[in-house]
Amino acid sequence: MLDKLSSALKKGFDKIAGAIFLDKKVIDEIVKDLQRALIQADVNVHLAKELGEKIRKEAENERIKGIERKEHLTKILHDELIKILGGEKKELKFEKGKNNKIMLVGTYGHGKTTSSAKLASYYAKRGFKTCLLGLDVHRLAASEQLKQLGDKNKLAVFIDEAEKNPIKIYEKLKKELEGYDLIIIDTAGRHSLDKELIDEIKKLTGKIKPDYKLLIISADIGQAAKTQAEEFQKSVDINGVIITRMDSTAKAGGALTACNETNAPVYFIGTGEKINDFETFNAKAFISRMLGLGDLEGLLEKVQSAIDEKSQIKLKTRLDEGSFNLRDFQEQLKSMNNFSFSKIIDMIPGIGSLKEKVDDNMLNTQEHKVKKWQHIIDSMTEEEIDNPEILEKQTSRLKRIALGSGTTTTDIRQLIKQYKLLKELASGSELTNIDPSQGLSQKQMMKLARKFGKKMKF
Ligand SMILES: Nc1nc2c(ncn2[C@@H]2O[C@H](COP(=O)(O)OP(=O)(O)OP(=O)(O)O)[C@@H](O)[C@H]2O)c(=O)[nH]1
Ligand SMILES: [Mg+2]
């Protein structure tokens, strides 16, 4: 479903998360790619433009920096996408035991009959005593089609193949129908919303007084869904939409966003020919699914774990030069919301593959401690930062820092150990002998893993 749009959206979010500088050029690129993908999915050009403008405008806010800026833009884009798709989830509301009625209307072949059965099955499974009522008296095989669908799915079906007046059919069956919580009514289509169709729907609704008149629209008409929904709303007062064939068109984005511009919300979508290829429409869940992430939290996690690349490059240079010091370490802690020791390890040449040998829990514990370390470094003097070795010899300094940072002297010792280990690993002889094209030998790797594992335990 909407594969192209989905991969374009994923790319857009990844670009935000991974950009070195989220500057005008990058934003322009992201916006252009997104707009292209939206327009390909038949989303109205103006809507796509508005979305782009909104992102650009937010991106101009230079006051928000680094990761926060990425988070901000991710959230804005996510929320705007949901907004153009329909915002909050809407649900049909009715009560059990109340003889509720839903009438399905629409032009030819958009999926009224199929959706009637799908809808009946959906509510039957949720405990409603549901039945189908066939009022398409024009198409020859219409009643038979509904009957077959009903029988196949164990749904009660009411039809009258002999009677050609739908009002009379209803009147005849009215008493029997009263025993149901929910009656789903299938009606006839026409080539277009002509006077005949309007008259028939008006007559039927005047008599039946359905709680909901839902328009059935096939997704492949794309943004033309807007005109159709508006016309049906104006002439027969529909109060909701079901979009079918979401599975078989690249234009579904158009149909969804177009309906959202009318006053008729999309309640359900059809995603295939089978009875269960049907689901409630929820813009938020829809976007999450397209992005393959749980929700906004998932997206933000991705941003947070994509370490600020500017400091990443700087750090890598310092590590390569062997000039990495505690100040760099501190800068790293500051520049990352979600400092990850394992990410620093990733950056040490040749050591990425080693990480697998290191217990994940150990790394997680490390990450947990990082906040403490930040406080510790903040309590150090310039001299101590430049030369942390002096701390090991002077307990009075350790005590002072522990007091100032609300930590213990053990915490400070751990930090120094960690920092020294990182420095050692980055400049160690094991790594300087590595042929970059070959990486680490198995033996070198095991040796490092042992060393690393031993030293990391405290
Ligand atoms: N792939 C796919 N096909 C669907 C979906 N919904 C309906 N169809 C197919 O669309 C075709 C038309 O569906 P119908 O339910 O007969 O449409 P209708 O609006 O009742 O048609 P008329 O009664 O002739 O106006 C059928 O072949 C259905 O199987 C869907 O969500 N996905
Ligand atoms: Mg039909």
- The ligand 1 atom at the shortest distance from the C-alpha of residue 108 is 25
Q: Which residues surround ligand 2, an ion (CB under 5 A)?
A: 112-113
Ligand closest to 214 (CA) is 1
Partner residues linked to 269 by β-bridges: 243, 279
Partner residues linked to 240 by β-bridges: 214
Question: How high is the pLDDT of residue 158?
Answer: 97
Question: How high is the pLDDT of residue 375?
Answer: 85
Question: How high is the pLDDT of residue 338?
Answer: 47
What is the 8-class DSSP label of residue 439? Answer: B
Ligand closest to 248 (CA) is 1
Report the candidate in 345, 344, 395, 399 with the shortest Cα–Cα distance to residue 376: 399
Beta-sheet strand order (sheet of 266-270): 156-158, 130-134, 182-186, 100-105, 212-218, 240-244, 266-270, 278-280
Report the candidate in 269, 210, 266, 255 with the shortest Cα–Cα distance to residue 236: 210
Question: How high is the pLDDT of residue 433?
Answer: 44
Same topology, domains 100-281 and 307-456? Answer is no
Question: How high is the pLDDT of residue 273?
Answer: 94
Q: What token pair was written down for 71?
A: 């988070």
Rounded CA-CA distance 37/115 in Å is 29
CATH of 100-281, one of 3.40.50.720, 3.40.50.300, 3.30.565.10, 3.30.450.40: 3.40.50.300
Q: Are the C-beta atoms of residues 345 and 360 closer than 8 Å to each other?
A: no
Report the candidate in 221, 247, 220, 250 with the shortest Cα–Cα distance to residue 7: 250
Per-residue pLDDT of the chain (458 residues; tens, 9 = 90+): 788 888 888 888 888 877 666 778 888 989 999 999 999 999 999 999 999 999 998 888 767 666 778 888 888 899 999 999 988 888 999 887 789 999 999 999 999 999 999 999 999 999 999 999 999 999 889 999 999 999 999 999 999 999 999 999 999 999 999 999 999 999 999 888 888 889 999 999 999 999 999 999 999 999 999 999 999 999 899 999 999 999 989 899 999 999 988 889 999 999 999 999 999 999 988 888 888 766 666 667 666 655 555 566 666 677 667 677 777 777 666 654 444 555 555 555 444 444 454 445 545 555 556 678 888 988 999 889 888 888 888 889 999 999 999 999 998 988 888 777 767 765 554 444 444 334 444 454 455 555 544 444 32
Name all residues whose Cβ lies below 6 A of ligand 1. 106, 108-114, 136, 139, 142, 189, 216, 244-245, 247-248, 270-273, 277
User: Mutation test of ligand 1: which of 114, 232, 279 has the most ligand atoms closer than 8 Å to its C-beta?
Assistant: 114
Rounded CA-CA distance 253/111 in Å is 18
Rounded CA-CA distance 412/376 in Å is 7
CATH classification (class only), 3-88+294-303: mainly alpha
Evaluated on CA atoms 340, 341, 342, 348, the torsion sign reads positive
CA 404, chain centre distance (Å) = 43
Q: Where are the domains of the chain?
A: 3-88+294-303, 100-281, 307-456
- The ligand 1 atom at the shortest distance from the C-alpha of residue 270 is 31
Question: How high is the pLDDT of residue 111?
Answer: 97
The count of C-alpha atoms lying within 13 angstroms of the C-alpha of 446, restricted to the half-sphere facing its C-beta, is 3
User: Mutation test of ligand 1: which of 116, 137, 185, 244 has the most ligand atoms closer than 8 Å to its C-beta?
Assistant: 244
| CATH superfamily of the domain spanning 307-456 | Signal recognition particle, SRP54 subunit, M-domain (1.10.260.30)
- The ligand 1 atom at the shortest distance from the C-alpha of residue 136 is 23
Neighbours of 261 (CB within 10 A): 17
Q: Are the C-beta atoms of residues 456 and 421 closer than 8 Å to each other?
A: yes
The count of C-alpha atoms lying within 13 angstroms of the C-alpha of 117, restricted to the half-sphere facing its C-beta, is 24
Q: How far is the CA of 174 from the centre of ligand 1 (A)?
A: 27
